[in-house]
Structure 1
Amino acid sequence: MQLLTIHQKVFIVFRRRRMKKFYAMFRPSAQTPLLDIGGAPNTWITESQYDFKFPVVLVNLIFPDPAVLSDSRFTAVVGDATNLPFADASFDIAYSNSVIEHMTTWERQQAFAAEARRAGKRLWIQTPARSFPLESHLLAPFFQYLPRSLQTRMARHFTLWGLLTKPSVAQVEEMLSDIRLLTYKEMKQLFPDCLILKERVLGLTKSYVAVRGFN
């Protein structure tokens, strides 16, 4: 569990740095309605270090934690990211952090991107880069380049995720089926009207962010 805590702390550092850039580029105000696709309150309360005033609509397939509704700044909506229940340009900003890679297929990722671009006047959509040496979900170097059959055999005992969570075979299959990391070229295809930022660590691209309509 100590290793898991260290991992969480490291990722919070990156997310806070990313959030600082988001605020600098978009400068959201109390009158800025924001849609967080697949998000959680912690993104805005714990990871941002900003006392935000604007309303945030969180859309997810399920909301298992009723505490989501305890803060008046948040509205929880049950919905599918590939078919959002909102009219065109309903939100000043459509935001998403590390969600589109969990859409399982290229077709669903295309639908996700189209819906985000439709619902938000401005965009901030982040995803881990497939080219980064450390696969960020399984926490294993170059794991994303292995054949699926080898990934299945190695995930439980040769990844940090497997060693920490001790998943069943079914859970391994579920995890592997869930993730489809994106390349820079694919991000350009998904968001043709956006600037694709590259978040770098030690000179290597760790993640991509599609942005549109920033200041």
Structure 2
Amino acid sequence: MSILKKIQNRLMRFSREQKLRQFYSLFKEGETVLDVGVSPESNRAKPARNYFLKNYRYKPETYTGLGVRELIGMEGKFPGKKFVQYSGGKFPFADKEFDWVFSNAVIEHVGDDRSQLLFLNEMMRVSKNVFFTTPNKYFPIESHTSVFFLHWHDDLFYKWCGKNKPAYDRDSLYLFSFKRLEKMVKRSRASSFAIYQNRFIGLPMTFSVTCTNG
């Protein structure tokens, strides 16, 4: 493993643990949570995948996972927890069915401004409180592609992705600056919100957002 990769892995682990601490400072035992953005697990799955699911502290019956990919077998791997697959768009749950929604680094993958706002509003609709995170576009290293600075310039970044990381384009990776994130949350159905800038060596690396549906 290269030195750069080791540094990146350490950064990501630091970030994941920091965000879990933030969430658990708000979440209370006995409350229910919908984990939005669950991926299927295999025997070779990396520890970082479904980090919240694997590190959930409370009774499994208070946890529900939601994902767009097939989740067959997940309930066998994680007894007591519930998993639901959907095709995107409206969530298959009733209004305020959950006390919390947790979603780590998913919203930047759901599409354009309109799709991201719909995603946030659906999280708000099905819960009383939302905690979600997303990378800061203007952190020097882009966490999905490991490029330095290029992601600060959309045209150059997506042209580079087309040649080097074809899984990513404007529809599958649309990063947030603080200003754009704040603007979107203000347009959402949230009655109140707070945005936290999670820093590494003084630089905002990710954002954590808490929203209340009053």
TM-score bin, normalised by smaller chain: 0.7 to 0.9
Would the alpha carbon gap of residues 60 and 5 (structure 1) be closer, same or farther in structure 2, given more than 3 Å must change? farther
Would the alpha carbon gap of residues 2 and 85 (structure 1) be closer, same or farther in structure 2, given more than 3 Å must change? same
Contact 2:71 2:83 in 1 (8 A): no
> Aligned partner of 1:198: which letter?
Q
Aligned to 1:163: none
What is the CA–CA distance in structure 2 between the aligned matches of 1:140 and 1:68, rounded to whole Å?
36
Contact 1:38 1:81 in 2 (8 A): no
Mapped pair 1:191 → 2:185: yes
Secondary structure (helix, strand or coil) at the match of 1:210 reads: strand
What is the percent sequence identity of the aligned residues? 23
TM-score normalised according to structure 2 size: 0.79
Contact 2:38 2:67 in 1 (8 A): yes
How many residues are aligned here? 195
Higher helix share: 1
Aligned to 1:162: none
Shift of 1:102: 0.3
Secondary structure (helix, strand or coil) at the match of 1:77 reads: strand
What is the CA–CA distance in structure 1 between the aligned matches of 2:72 and 2:14, rounded to whole Å?
25
Question: Which one is further off, 59-68 or 179-188?
Answer: 59-68
Aligned to 1:16: 17
Mapped pair 1:112 → 2:119: yes
What is the CA–CA distance in structure 2 between the aligned matches of 1:18 and 1:122, rounded to whole Å?
16
Contact 1:38 1:59 in 2 (8 A): yes
Would the alpha carbon gap of residues 81 and 35 (structure 1) be closer, same or farther in structure 2, given more than 3 Å must change? farther
Contact 1:37 1:81 in 2 (8 A): no
What is the CA–CA distance in structure 1 between the aligned matches of 2:53 and 2:34, rounded to whole Å?
15
Runs of 4 or more above 3 Å deviation: 1-10, 150-156
Secondary structure (helix, strand or coil) at the match of 1:175 reads: coil
Mapped pair 1:174 → 2:173: no
Cα deviation code 1:65-86 (max 9, x no counterpart): 6245422242110114531011
What is the aligned-residue RMSD (CA, Å)?
A: 2.5
Aligned to 1:61: 68
Aligned to 2:45: none
TM-score normalised according to structure 1 size: 0.78
What is the CA–CA distance in structure 2 between the aligned matches of 1:124 and 1:82, rounded to whole Å?
19
Would the alpha carbon gap of residues 72 and 18 (structure 1) be closer, same or farther in structure 2, given more than 3 Å must change? same
Shift of 1:111: 0.5
What is the CA–CA distance in structure 2 between the aligned matches of 1:20 and 1:98, rounded to whole Å?
16
